[in-house]
């Protein structure tokens, strides 16, 4: 019998790769299996990437999905030590910007931003990486 290894905690999976330009320029290319963040801020997230959607006391609405995807990718890069944790505020600002671009109200986008600023600092710590589980 063969054992499997897996991670839980995901709700969504990207069906098509996306590319966007961010203001987060790491100084050197960060290349991973699902996320590339180039020195100039260009970001590619490949199909198959899984994320948990918007976190906290909120609703998973269409105008929150793209922002939560990009934000989760940036936080993941910080947890992995590939992107400096000092870029967290930049990631939080980008979340707000994308949500506004996607039609979220200014008031809700402000609350989203304040929520991640106040409650998400631990999410960039390596200790919060999803644990690998095994079965059987």
Residue 64 lies in a domain: yes
> So what's the pLDDT on residue 57?
84
> So what's the pLDDT on residue 55?
86
Total tally of structural domains belonging to the chain:
1
Residue 5 lies in a domain: no
Taking the CA atoms of 46, 50, 56 and 57 in sequence, report the sign of the dihedral they define: positive
Residue 119 near residue 57, CB atoms below 8 Å: no
Instruction: Write out the chain's pLDDT in tens, 136 residues.
Output: 799 999 998 999 999 999 999 999 999 999 999 999 999 999 999 999 999 999 888 999 999 999 999 999 999 999 999 999 999 999 999 999 999 999 999 999 999 999 999 999 999 999 999 899 999 9
Tell me if residue 136 falls in helix, strand or coil: coil
Residue 134 lies in a domain: no
Residue 135 lies in a domain: no
Residue 133 lies in a domain: no
Residue 1 lies in a domain: no
Q: What is the pTM of this model?
A: 0.94
Residue 18 lies in a domain: yes
65/131 Cα distance (integer angstroms) = 24
Domain residues for 30? 11-52+59-128
């Amino acid at each position: 019998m063969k054992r499997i290894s897996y991670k839980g905690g995901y709700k969504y999976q990207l069906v098509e790769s996306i590319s966007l330009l961010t203001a987060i320029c790491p100084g050197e290319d960060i290349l991973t299996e699902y996320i590339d963040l180039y020195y100039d801020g260009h970001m590619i997230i490949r199909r198959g990437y899984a994320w948990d959607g918007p976190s906290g006391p909120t609703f998973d609405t269409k105008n929150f999905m793209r922002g939560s995807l990009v934000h989760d990718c940036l936080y993941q890069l910080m947890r992995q030590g590939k992107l400096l944790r000092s870029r967290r505020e930049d990631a939080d600002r980008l979340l707000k910007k994308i949500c506004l671009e996607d039609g979220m109200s200014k008031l809700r986008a402000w609350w989203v931003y304040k929520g991640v600023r106040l409650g998400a600092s631990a999410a960039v710590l390596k200790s919060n990486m999803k644990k690998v589980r095994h079965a059987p």
